[in-house]
């Protein structure tokens, strides 16, 4: 398999591992935004959130909570960004679902710097209706 994260998972490429369980692996990003920047992957290969099974996605989320607490305790960070991209249009570089945990401090000069623009309320309402219509209903 050509997936770099699967190769890291399998020990074929070195990494600085922080945590591992049966479903997830957390390791340090080699191009950190800030000190302590780490990645969490599902051990099962899935390119995007659209391909993830609910149990694998839940496992990544649980590991993210555990790692967020560890980062805060170890580095005394004042905040944390969780970042996850799906597909090239969203700037996903490695086609294996992964979650970035980026510790943040006031004045660190890092962040999401897109300009906030007030949305049209009617367009927001119509878009919400389109999305709501596609949400599967729970069957009991």
Instruction: Please report the pLDDT score of residue 140 as a whole number.
Output: 60
Q: Measured between alpha carbons, how far is 37 from 94 in angstroms, rounded to an integer?
A: 16
Look at the chain and report how many structural domains it folds into: 1
Domain that holds residue 24: 4-113
Does residue 48 sit within a domain?
A: yes
Q: What is the CATH number of the domain that holds 73?
A: 3.30.428.10
Domain assignment of residue 132, yes or no: no
Instruction: Provide the sign of the torsion angle of the four alpha carbons 31, 61, 9, 71, taken in this order.
Output: positive
Q: How would residue 136 be classed by pLDDT, with cut points 50, 70 and 90? A: confident
Asked, for residue 46, whether it belongs to a domain, the answer is yes
Q: Residues 66-82: what's their mean pLDDT?
A: 94
CA distance 42 to 124: 33
Q: What is the pLDDT of residues 17-49, one digit of tens each?
A: 999 999 999 999 999 999 999 999 999 999 999
Which residue out of 37, 76, 96, 98 is catalytically annotated?
98
Looking up tokens 């496992």 gives 59
Of residues 64, 71, 100, the one with CA closest to residue 84: 100
User: Is residue 120 in some structural domain?
Assistant: no
Residue 12 lies in a domain: yes
**Angle 89-121-128 from CA coordinates, rounded to 5°:** 55
pTM of the model: 0.86
> Tens of pLDDT along 94-115?
999 999 999 999 999 887 766 7
96 counts as catalytic = no
Structure token digits, residue 110: 């890092």
Whether residue 82 lies inside any domain: the answer is: yes
């Amino acid at each position: 398999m050509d997936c770099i994260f699967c190769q890291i998972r399998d020990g074929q490429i070195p990494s600085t591992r922080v945590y591992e369980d049966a479903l997830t692996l957390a390791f340090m990003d080699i191009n950190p935004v800030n000190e302590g920047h780490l990645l969490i992957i599902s051990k099962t290969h899935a390119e995007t959130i659209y391909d993830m099974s609910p149990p694998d996605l839940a496992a990544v989320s649980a590991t993210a909570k555990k790692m967020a607490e560890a980062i805060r305790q170890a580095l005394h960070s004042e905040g944390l960004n969780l970042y996850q991209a799906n597909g090239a249009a969203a700037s996903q570089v490695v086609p294996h679902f992964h979650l970035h945990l980026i510790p943040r401090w006031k004045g660190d000069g890092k962040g999401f710097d897109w300009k906030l623009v007030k949305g049209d309320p009617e367009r927001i309402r119509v878009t919400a209706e389109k999305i709501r219509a596609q949400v599967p209903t729970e069957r009991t």
